[in-house]
Amino acid sequence: MKKRVLVTGGAGFLGSHLCARLLNQECEVLCVDNFFTGMRRNIEPLLGEPAFEVMRHDVTFPLYVEVDEIYNLACPASPIHYQRDPIQTTKTSVLGAINMLGLAKRLRVRILQASTSEVYGDPDVHPQTENYCGMVNMIGPRACYDEGKRCTETLFYDYRRQHRLDVRVARIFNTYGPNMHPQDGRVVSNFIVQALKGDPITIFGSGTQTRSFCYVDDLIDGLTRLMNLPHDVEGPINVGNPAEMSMRELGELIISLTGSHSRLEFRPLPQDDPRQRRPDISRARQLLHWTPKVSLEEGLKKTISYFDALLANSREAEKLVWRFTQ
């Protein structure tokens, strides 16, 4: 009998890739999304699959379904999207977690939370290990996301202690790949879209701040390995690529890979933007036998191809609209 798996946020960037992976693993998949940031085009290739079902639902309200596992990915993850409605972002993290944990408790099933490296804030420990408690500004413009995810982790481990629930928490570091939203404000999608259009590559600050970028296929592999680990898991696990790069280096690499004539343009650094971010993935290597396989250059080429096709389709659609209105 096929395992029935619930994926909240299933039409989002990560969620759509996870749904596809689970279908390939012979699971039945219930994709739940309110389409605030998720896009139907992300899951269109899956709609013809008999084992795939889509439900429009907001996780801040209870959900009554029968499933065997739960992946809780529902929450806007880019600054532009989560700062658009910060109160709703916090509600999605906290109330969504309470509702999904309540469902898992009723069904007595395993649940995985997609947490984030943002729980570390602007870290003074580098690279970041799971036992580092972070340095987060709880009243800043990013706090709706950062503190929402920190509270979610608290809830998950309180349910584990109080109700003996089988919980898994993945702290996801910067991830990129096809199905990213072209206007999500994340650095990889920003740089690629700007380069393909020939616009200036906007770098905030001096460009010396660093990030570590994990290709989406590797990330999804890490999540499914964590969920399928047969024994209990103590504490969160970092999932990301430890290869570190400055924003200036990333901009120059994307210009090179796209063959663009874009130039770098420097702007003021936003409040609370982390200076550095790099995961220590020792626990993921030890417990999950997982390490990223896709190089940054290889992953960027695939992502550039995706955005190139997306922009080409958009330009064609604009031409059709123009012709129709003439």
In this prediction, residue 321 has a pLDDT band, given cuts at 50, 70 and 90, of very low
Candidates 142, 145, 115; CA nearest to 130 is: 115
Q: List the domain boundaries for the chain.
A: 4-176+214-242+273-294
The mean pLDDT value for 110-130 works out to: 94
Spell out the alpha helix ranges (H) of 164-292.
Answer: 187-197, 216-228, 247-258, 282-283
Closest Cα to residue 90, out of 18, 165, 37, 141? 141
pLDDT band at residue 324, thresholds of 50, 70 and 90?
Answer: very low
pLDDT reported for residue 302? 98
pLDDT over 90 percentage in the chain: 82
Q: Determine which one of 145, 159, 176, 215 is catalytic.
A: 145
Q: Which of 245, 232, 236, 209 is nearest to 132 (CA)?
A: 236
Q: Taking the CA atoms of the chain, what radius of gyration do you get in angstroms?
A: 20
Distance CA 285, CA 101 (A): 27
Among 7-16, 20-29, 234-243, 310-319, which stretch is predicted with the lowest mean pLDDT? 310-319
- pLDDT for 315: 62
Query: Is 145 a known active-site residue?
Result: yes
Q: Read off the pTM.
A: 0.93
Predicted confidence at residue 272, as pLDDT, reads 67
- Euclidean distance between CA atoms 66 and 273, whole angstroms: 41
Mind spelling out the 3-state secondary structure of 144-192?
HHHHHHHHHHHHHHHHHHHHCCCEEEEEECCEECCCCCCCCCCHHHHHH
- Residue 269: its pLDDT value, please? 81
The b/e string for 58-73 (b: 16+ C-beta within 10 A; e otherwise) is: bbbeebeeebebbbbb
| Torsion angles phi and psi, residue 106, rounded to 5 | -65, -40
What integer is the mean pLDDT of 97-105? 98
* Residue 225, number of CB atoms within 10 A of its CB: 17
At 90, the pLDDT band (50, 70, 90 cuts) reads very high
**pLDDT tens per residue across span 209-238:** 999 999 999 999 999 999 999 988 999 999
The upper half-sphere exposure of residue 219, i.e. CA atoms within 13 Å in the direction of its Cβ, equals: 28
Whole-angstrom distance, CA of residue 14 vs CA of residue 179? 8
DSSP secondary structure string, 94-124? HHHHHHHHHHHHHHT-EEEEEEEGGGGBS-S
Structure tokens at 305: 């191809």
Instruction: Give the mean model confidence (pLDDT) for residues 112-139.
Output: 93
To the nearest 10°, report the CA torsion of 94, 99, 105, 106.
Answer: 170
Task: Return d(Cα 134, Cα 16) in angstroms, integer.
Answer: 30
pLDDT band at 317 (very low <50, low <70, confident <90, very high): very low
Second-level CATH architecture of 4-176+214-242+273-294: 3-Layer(aba) Sandwich (3.40)
Give tens-digit pLDDT for 30-85: 999 999 999 999 999 999 999 999 999 999 999 999 999 999 999 988 788 888 89
Which residue has 């790099």 as its token pair? 278
Q: What is the pLDDT, as a whole number, of residue 78? A: 77
Say whether pLDDT at 195 is over 50. yes
